[in-house]
Amino acid sequence: MNSLRFPLLVFSLMVLTSAVCSIHGQPINPLVREGVTEKISEHVHVIPDASVPLVPNVGIIVGTHGTFVIDTGLGERNGQTVLREVAKVSRNTELHLATTHFHPEHDLGASAFPANTDMIRSRDQQKDIDEFGLQLAQSFSSRSPYSAALLKGAEFRKANTFFEKEHTVDLGGVQVRLIAMGANHTRGDTAFWIEPDGVLFSGDIVMKPQPAFASPYSSLRHWLESLDTLQKLQPKRIVPSHGPMGDGALIAGYRAYLTGIQTRTVALKKEGKSADQAVETIATEMQKQYPDRGRLTGAVRAAYAEAP
């Protein structure tokens, strides 16, 4: 790894692991829930995360001959839960699996899936796995004994299918279009467009919670371009990696946040302010509306690095 990128990665891990939290002092166990799966369109089901840290919104897309799962939960136990929910809505033996990005709560339950599962990854996602491996899983494990138990022995599942920019899977009556989105939250972010349902699984690229610049490769400028790409799809429903589902307003909210930070950071840099000064100024100005200071800091530093 480039030595200049290592401090950025450490900071990113600190931001992400702050999500391992508790309510009123009681730990929240990061478990995918059973018996709550929702059918949100003709072919799409979602296991909602209830906004529990380290639990993703899991997608299950069912066609006439194939079923596609998006994200797995943290470790094999959660992957097994996902499979039990899949069995409730589909009897297809053809099974495809992909993840929005390589972080543990999205990817490290894949080992629970049967051997005949078609595991699909973008080349960029594989690059993240090859470079960073289980660093984040180790960080999660060190902060929570329960997460450590879930992640014990976890490894990344080898892909059966790789793609560069886009890949489409026909499930029979419904298609899943995988789109490699580039360096936003991670280098290997993947979005999923479900046709003809008009449902978008946006990963961490669009959510209600503030965006997390969790990779040394993350780019604010590119993130805004990614929002343009997703907006052109005109989704009827957006299922983010975490938090409540929504519509195009989620895209608009992220655009306002990122452009606001970009504009203010450029102005401060032109005034001769340092990156640290820009972070302090913008965090103070925006923290009432956007309370996650760690995520604000990541966005400002990304904007500062790109500003002229």
pLDDT digits (tens, 9 = 90+) for 48-79: 999 999 999 999 999 999 999 999 999 999 99
Question: For residue 143, what pLDDT is reported?
Answer: 86
Question: For residue 7, what pLDDT is reported?
Answer: 44
- Residues 82 and 76: their CA atoms lie apart, in Å, by 10
User: What is the arithmetic mean of pLDDT over 161-167?
Assistant: 98
CA distances from 259 to 139, 243, 246 (A): 31, 22, 21
Does residue 197 have a pLDDT over 90? yes
End-to-end CA distance of the chain: 26
HSE-up of residue 192 (Cα within 13 Å, Cβ side)? 31
List, for residues 254-275, the tens digit of each pLDDT value: 999 999 999 999 999 999 999 9
Question: For residue 144, what pLDDT is reported?
Answer: 87
Q: Which residues pair with 263 in a beta bridge?
A: none
Say if residues 71 and 204 touch (Cβ distance below 8 Å). Answer: no
Question: For residue 269, what pLDDT is reported?
Answer: 98
Percent above pLDDT 90 for the chain: 90
Does residue 222 have a pLDDT over 60? yes
Sheet of strand 166-170: strand arrangement: 166-170, 175-182, 189-195, 199-203, 237-240
User: What is the arithmetic mean of pLDDT over 96-121?
Assistant: 98
Q: Give the predicted TM-score (pTM) of the model.
A: 0.93
